[in-house]
Structures are given as structure tokens and as C-alpha cells.
């Protein structure tokens, strides 16, 4: 269960996905262009813990907490 699936309301161009740990360190960053509504992230290289997932595009910024077990 190392795949995180994110469903967007609409496709975004030039989307930046950033995973940040509790100390504010960037653990993973992915730059996606011409992506669809559903995005899948492989979290297998990330240790168990709490993280913040930041989604950033030209017109949108959002963040959510995720827990990897």
C-alpha cells in the first residue's frame, strides 16, 4: 500500500507535488505537466511518519496531512 492516489477536481498543467516532513524538510518533489485528474504517487521510498502534501500550480495551492504506516 505504498501508492497514494489523488483525485483533482480538474486537470492542472505544471503541477508541483511536494511532500514535507514534520521538520519542514522536503522529502519528495514531483513536477507534472499535462496530467489528468487522477495522480498516483509512489511512497515506497518514504519512511513511516506524518507528512504534509503540498499541491501547487499557477492558480492553486493546497496542502493536506498524510500518514504513512
- Stretch (H or E) spanning 14: none
Total-model pTM: 0.84
Model confidence at 34: pLDDT above 80: no
What pLDDT is stored for residue 25 in this prediction? 97
Helix (H, G, I), strand (E, B) or coil at 11: coil
The whole-number average pLDDT for the span 32-44 is 86
In this predicted model, what pLDDT tens digit does every residue of 9-22 receive, in sequence order? 888 788 999 999 99
C-alpha cell at 57: 500550480
Contact by Cβ (8 Å): 18, 28 = yes
pLDDT for the residue 29: 94
Distances (CA, A) of 1 to 16, 23, 43, 51, 59: 23, 24, 9, 16, 31
Amino acid at each position: 500500500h505504498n501508492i497514494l492516489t489523488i483525485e483533482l477536481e480538474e486537470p492542472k498543467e505544471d503541477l508541483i507535488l511536494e511532500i514535507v516532513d514534520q521538520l519542514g524538510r522536503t522529502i519528495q518533489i514531483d513536477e507534472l505537466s499535462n496530467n489528468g485528474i487522477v495522480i498516483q504517487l509512489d511512497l515506497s521510498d518514504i519512511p513511516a511518519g506524518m507528512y504534509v502534501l503540498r499541491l501547487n500550480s499557477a492558480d492553486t495551492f493546497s496542502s493536506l496531512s498524510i500518514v504513512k504506516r
